[in-house]
Amino acid sequence: MARGYDNYKNRADLISSFGRELTRRSGSSCELCGASGVSLSVFEVPPVKVEPESSDCVFICGECREQLENPKKFRNSHWRCLTDRVWSETGSVKILSVMILKKVSLTESWASDIIENVYLSDEENEQVERSGI
């Protein structure tokens, strides 16, 4: 049975508790742009599930987070860094990269060229459609 996270603080605490595992997985560098020596935080890939899991999260730097959370700060050129991330063996990194490149591809053909070559399962495609990014 799923445990309930009835307030935001519990959920936020739980998500930040993934930090140790994600530090190891990421090698302490941003899982999107590769920045190292910067502070990293846990980002849940949308749409978020009732029960957060580290496998649905990506460890990212402040710059990537700001662009994702604030559409006014979103700069297409920053996301060139995702060219090889779409091939990541970490599912959450791959799918978040596709979500972002899909948005970039609305105006940039280099981004459509990349995502055209990426294979996604039906389930992953649906997640991308519902992401809201």
Q: Which residues bind Zn ion (CB under 5 A)?
A: 30, 32-33, 35, 61, 64
Which ranges of the chain would DSSP assign to H, the alpha helix?
Answer: 8-16, 19-26, 62-69, 91-104, 109-116, 122-130
CB of 39 to Zn ion, least distance (A): 11
CB of 63 to Zn ion, least distance (A): 5
CB of 35 to Zn ion, least distance (A): 5
Distance CA 127, CA 131 (A): 6
Give ∠ CA 101-42-88 in degrees, rounded to 5: 45
Name the β-bridge partners of 41: 60
Nearer to Zn ion among residue 15 and residue 82 (C-beta): 82
Nearer to Zn ion among residue 18 and residue 79 (C-beta): 79
Nearer to Zn ion among residue 60 and residue 115 (C-beta): 60
